[in-house]
Structure 1
Amino acid sequence: MSELDGKVAIVTGAASGIGRGIAERFVAEGARVVIADVQTELGEALAADLGEAAVFVATDVGDQAQVARAVDTAVETFGALDVMVNNAGRSSPLKKSLFDEDFAEFDSVMRVNLLGVMAGTRDAGRHMADHGGGAIINMASIGGILAGGGVASYRASKAAIIQFSKSAAIELAHYEIRVNCIAPGNIPTPILRSAASEEDRARLEKFEAKIRQTMRDDRPLKREGTADDVAEAALYFATDRSRYVTGTVLPVDGGTVAGKVLVRKPKPAD
């Protein structure tokens, strides 16, 4: 028997990147999945590829009414909602320094990254509370754990997701609803590309290569992380394997948040 047989899930931001990997893994494990995304063409194509186990609903998670509609779609189409993955997110523009930051996109970043998670947790939780509980998985980032320069609004939004999720875990535990966070790091996805300014995009290949190399240098495990690695963590939180786990934050980052890589000097020759 597959681990999610009979379960119904919503994955926001599922048309590409990490969300797509989670949606595909959930369907492979027997779940029926609502793909909620603003990318209509990609979302509809993925739903078609996944067959009768998936349905697409156009969803801007920054609009609370659209989040509620995604929850209603899951219940109306598949008859239940057992797992909510609040994955949709966006980056904030990269700036040379904090002094160059005008926070022009602060409201948009917070609306998508934080309000979308809060509304998704609330609306899924309302249904789950009346139907025996469930699992809510919120996508944070190691950027919400580790301090660093750049993308200030993004880092702030992801840190807020972690604190909100822990608070929601405490409140919703009474209803047998588990709320956990995943904090990916160093996973190649389109979100880094969206953080680049127009000037950066003109030399994006060089820009991305530099960022990725910095990530590799700071990562104890040297293999590249993938969306499948994050999907494996999401599967754990979605199943009964984590039935006694709530309010946690799981970095999926090759060990980055554990600390800096120790550079060992070669031993002198005899």
Structure 2
Amino acid sequence: MTDELADKVAIVTGGASGLGAGLVRRFAAEGAKVVFCDVDTDTGTALESELGGDTVFVAADVSDVDEVGRVVSTAVQRFGGLHVMVNNAGVSGTMHRRLFDDDLADFHKVMSVNVLAVMAGTRDAARHMAEHGGGSIVNLTSIGGIQAGGGVLTYRASKAAVIQFTKCAAIELAHHEVRVNAIAPGNIRTAIVRKSATGEDLEKLEQFEAKIRQRMRDDRPLKREGTVDDVAEAALYFATDRSRYVTGTVLPVDGGTVAGKVLVRKPGSDGATR
């Protein structure tokens, strides 16, 4: 590690596990003072104990905008500032075979965590950053917000909203030297696919997840499996001065999935077919 975030204060929402925990670990390893929040108190407390030092866990539900503000205030009060805000917390919608079968019961939950919390986190962090020389805000979206598809329609809509909001916020906050960018992970092995299964799918969960993962591999030009570390590396780039002239961008970390369909070559042929 190179201590690229030495003397920086960072927040990671949804940081107790999955992508969030990877971000917390990487930022801490790079010398940052990190405040992270989650609704999973046990896992968050365990990660805080593991990392120690200047890594602080705050139990918070980011679907409540007041809780988001409390996390930002905690970072400023504890460490005297805020330089990097990563709005990572997210939930999946329930997988449905058809739109006709979707009762939209999870709409408000998905939107409150995936969109409202991102907007509140960006706003509250930017208020501080604008008065203290600027900073970097990184919002986690998904390739599901870029590519259309069926299944988890509310989730896809929420992630598309994050992309549009990120670009709008980048324009508005640029004159405050606050940069706002988004990362769109794809085909990263976390629990989010499993959590999208409905009750009846749980009986065949392993087969369900294997099918989804195989489809992801088939659609991915790079055959290496993506990792949490790949996403953390992208977040580190946006968090540092290496991206000081970059704002309003959406960076897919997806092995090339959104670039287009994989071309399949017929055996014995020099040509390529879809």
Question: Which residue pairs with 2:241 in the alignment?
Answer: 240
Q: In the alignment, is residue 154 of structure 1 matched against residue 151 of structure 2?
A: no
Q: Structure 2 CA distance, aligned partners of 1:187 and 1:169?
A: 26
After TM superposition, the structure 1 = structure 2 runs for residues 106-121 of structure 1, keeping only pairs within 5 Å, are 106-121=107-122
Residue 24 of structure 1: how far off its partner (Å): 0.3
SS of structure 2 residue aligned to 1:55: strand
Question: Which residue pairs with 1:263 in the alignment?
Answer: 264
Q: Structure 1 CA distance, aligned partners of 2:189 and 2:203?
A: 19
Question: Which residue pairs with 2:28 in the alignment?
Answer: 27
Q: In the alignment, is residue 249 of structure 1 matched against residue 234 of structure 2?
A: no
Q: In the alignment, is residue 55 of structure 1 matched against residue 44 of structure 2?
A: no
Q: Structure 1 CA distance, aligned partners of 2:36 and 2:126?
A: 18
Q: Give the residue type in structure 1 aligned to 2:259.
A: A
Structure 1 segments (4+ residues) deviating >6 Å: none
Question: Which residue pairs with 1:183 in the alignment?
Answer: 184
Question: Which residue pairs with 1:103 in the alignment?
Answer: 104
Q: Structure 1 CA distance, aligned partners of 2:113 and 2:141?
A: 12
Q: How many pairs does the alignment contain?
A: 268
SS of structure 2 residue aligned to 1:70: helix
Unpaired runs of 5+ residues, structure 2, are 270-274
Residue 35 of structure 1: how far off its partner (Å): 1.2
Q: In the alignment, is residue 227 of structure 1 matched against residue 225 of structure 2?
A: no
Superposed CA offset, 1:59-97 (max 9, x none):
111101100000011011111110000000000000011
Question: Which residue pairs with 1:78 in the alignment?
Answer: 79
Q: Give the residue type in structure 2 aligned to 1:210.
A: K
Superposed CA offset, 1:22-55 (max 9, x none):
1100000000101111110000110111111200
Question: Which residue pairs with 1:208 in the alignment?
Answer: 209
Q: Structure 2 CA distance, aligned partners of 1:201 and 1:23?
A: 30
Superposed CA offset, 1:170-215 (max 9, x none):
0000100000000000001111111110111111111100000000
Q: Structure 2 CA distance, aligned partners of 1:53 and 1:224?
A: 32
Residue 128 of structure 1: how far off its partner (Å): 0.3
SS of structure 1 residue aligned to 2:92: coil
SS of structure 1 residue aligned to 2:97: coil
Q: Structure 2 CA distance, aligned partners of 1:102 and 1:58?
A: 31
Residue 266 of structure 1: how far off its partner (Å): 1.6
156-165 or 184-193, which deviates more: 184-193
Q: Structure 1 CA distance, aligned partners of 2:241 and 2:58?
A: 27
Residue 147 of structure 1: how far off its partner (Å): 0.3
Q: Structure 2 CA distance, aligned partners of 1:162 and 1:248?
A: 9
SS of structure 2 residue aligned to 1:88: coil
Q: Structure 1 CA distance, aligned partners of 2:128 and 2:207?
A: 47
Q: Give the residue type in structure 2 aligned to 1:228.
A: D
Question: Which residue pairs with 2:272 in the alignment?
Answer: none
Q: Equivalent pairs: percent with the same residue?
A: 70
Q: Taking structure 1 as the reference length, what is the TM-score of the superposition?
A: 0.98
Q: Give the residue type in structure 1 aligned to 2:97.
A: K
Q: Give the residue type in structure 2 aligned to 1:247.
A: G
Q: Structure 1 CA distance, aligned partners of 2:256 and 2:187?
A: 10
Unpaired runs of 5+ residues, structure 1, are none
- CA RMSD, Structure 1 to Structure 2 (Å): 0.7
Q: Give the residue type in structure 1 aligned to 2:260.
A: G
Q: Taking structure 2 as the reference length, what is the TM-score of the superposition?
A: 0.97
